[in-house]
Structure 1
Amino acid sequence: MGEIISHVQEQERQKKIAQARNEITKQLNANSEDLKLQIDKQLSTFEKGFLGDVEQKIAAFKESKAKEIISSNTWLKQLAEIDQEFKSILNSIYTL
């Protein structure tokens, strides 16, 4: 009779251990899912901030280069006009 009681107690103990393992596994899974969500949120926030900063820098660079091109083209246009006036003056001198 003592063996039967001991065997039943051992089964109960094994059952409690299995339940505890299941509970620990559930809690670990819940914690890992929560941690994953937190990491994803932080990564998303970082990416938005980083990409926003990069986009602003690219936009500023584009604007700067566009201004340089416009300025350069204006300067080239003025240079061409001066060249044309110089040629016109030379032609006037040669025709005298």
Structure 2
Amino acid sequence: MLGPDGEARFLHDHGPLLGLGLPHPVATVHETAPGTRLVLITDGLVEVRTEHLDHSLAEFSAAAPAGPAELTELRDALLPAFGEDQDDDIALLAVRLA
């Protein structure tokens, strides 16, 4: 989650993988300010088999708020920066919250 002030933070709420038919936890609410950007990614975008995942996530959390403010431009900056030569599936969804 990228706040309008440029602060990046990870949301740690999670449940089972989608499509498995397992029960999901109760929904969690996060207060957000107008203009907050939510960037959802699969692990394939940041996971590098020769590096610890925490290192890749730290790089991503530094690059995302430093990227362009417009969602399309942010996507176009993040995908090639992290998605080159990946062996896993990659998905990225970026939305601006009102």
When the two structures are superposed, what TM-score results if normalisation uses the length of structure 1? 0.18
When the two structures are superposed, what TM-score results if normalisation uses the length of structure 2? 0.18
Q: Which has the higher strand share?
A: 2
The higher radius of gyration belongs to: 1
Q: Which structure is richer in relative contact order (CA contacts within 8 A, separation 6 or more)? A: 2
